[in-house]
Amino acid sequence: MPDAPVVSLSSGRVRGVRDGAVDRFLGVPYAAPPFGSRRHLPPQPPEPWDGERDATAFGATAPQSPYPPALRPYLPTVEIGGLDILTVNVWTPADRPDDGALPVLVFVHGGALTRGSAALPIYDGTTFARHGIVFVSVQYRLGQEGFAVLDDAPLNLGILDQEAALRWVRREIASFGGDPTRVTAMGQSAGANTLAALVAAPQAEELFDQVILQSGPLRAQPRKKAGRMSREIARRLRIPLSREGFGSETPSALVAAQTEISAQATPLSSGPSVAVTVGEDTVPVDPLGVLLAGAGNGIPVVIGSTREEYRLWFVPGGTLDRIRWMTVTLARLASGVPRRIVAAHRRRNPAARPGEVLGEIVGDMLVRGPLTRWADSRRAGDAAPTWVYEFRWKSPIDGLGACHALELGFVFDALDSPDAVALGGSSAPDALARAMHGAWVSFVVDGDPGWEAWSSRHPVQAFDADGGHIDYAPRADELAGLPTR
């Protein structure tokens, strides 16, 4: 193939494809396939290969099922068969220095730890590579392959996969023109949740130099609660809660059982789910507690959320319309939310329906409240800067508003990708995409996204159709005294 770029790695040579000014290398193994004797064990180094490995197509995706029917119009699924699921994809400028001087951005996708893939069109790294950034996306184990809670297997294997991928970047990225001392990690949703656990870990600075966390919880669940899904699967399939028991079933059988159990839950129920689990060396304690105590203070952070995270979960399927004020009251009492917080929401928006008030409170408890507390904790001492944002542009599609994941098309400057169109329609503002993508590029390249860093004034960069502006301490009365659990 003419002009096919070839890169030499410690495990062998890979041959990618040149597309204009960008070279692309897809499906490059950072670890061995985690099946057979390696199933439900920490990731192992990839087997070396002879000759040139074809790196022109995405590797296999982690075992998963499509999203539930109500979400499928908005959240696509890519499924690629095969066992080699622990791979990375690299986009790098075709005209790059030989000394590995370019900044690096490593992206970890979301999907509730059960779905998602780096092969989704919206995650194409070309737009970052055009700005002189080496962009890397990571595939990791999901569901019961990556986050099962078994009696005799390590916890949080999907996080161990991500750690292995980040260490691979430190070792190998210079071969793609990247600087291994200028690595930014970026995660969205579940990807931000897992990266937050790594920021809280003692080895965080061995893995990356700065981090972007988009709409991700900062907490993990206790082992007993996090293990409900695995225990229910074991009960249904009549297998031991062990490596041998789960290893006796195919990955697709575990996915099917997990999907059946999840289908019985609602956005308001507390049924079994897949979660980051507190326990063992990977996540020894709840990440939020150690982050508030100063873990990760040496790492610059961009963190934020969308204005109406809840709408992606409450609008499809009609949950938003079924919630009544009595539901809000019962949920408030069960969660320990003070009555005055509900009153604050209603003062700001007297026309809000009960589902909207409850959704906002749930989003604040899961994401906005914890991230604000963490940003505040980093104001003291010599902590690295923190920048906080909120994405506010409202999608015109089906009442989704400024919902969870809507910002991705703007961050990647990929509004014409089918994923972005599904959530935001075909007329989303290009100027906002240029502004948001430009801020992320600026942070990766220069260590500053271009807006005021967090301080006692609580500056929040509000990304709306105007391209972005600063709000100071927005809706502080809705967060004051809010439990974060």
Active site residues: 189, 309, 404
Q: Give the span between the Cα atoms of 269 and 288, in whole angstroms.
A: 23
Q: Give the span between the Cα atoms of 331 and 337, in whole angstroms.
A: 8
In the three-class reduction of DSSP (H, G, I as helix; E, B as strand; rest coil), residue 395 is classed as strand
Q: Give the span between the Cα atoms of 222 and 308, in whole angstroms.
A: 27
* Long-range contacts, stretch 240-249, CB < 8 angstroms, 24+ apart: 240/151, 241/150, 241/151, 242/150, 242/151, 242/152, 242/153, 243/39, 243/40, 243/41, 243/150, 243/152, 243/153, 245/150, 246/40, 246/144, 246/148, 246/150, 246/153, 247/39, 247/40
Q: Which of 220, 232, 190, 213 is nearest to 283 (CA)?
A: 220
Q: Give the span between the Cα atoms of 219 and 481, in whole angstroms.
A: 18
Taking the CA atoms of residue 419, residue 425, residue 429 and residue 432 in that order, the dihedral angle to the nearest 10 degrees is -40
What are the helix and strand counts (H, E) for the chain? 20, 14
**Encoded tokens for 100:** 């590995």
Q: Which of 360, 374, 340 is nearest to 458 (CA)?
A: 374
Beta pairing class for 87-93 and 134-138 = antiparallel
**Encoded tokens for 130:** 């055009």
The answer to whether the Cα torsion of 21, 451, 218, 409 is positive or negative is negative
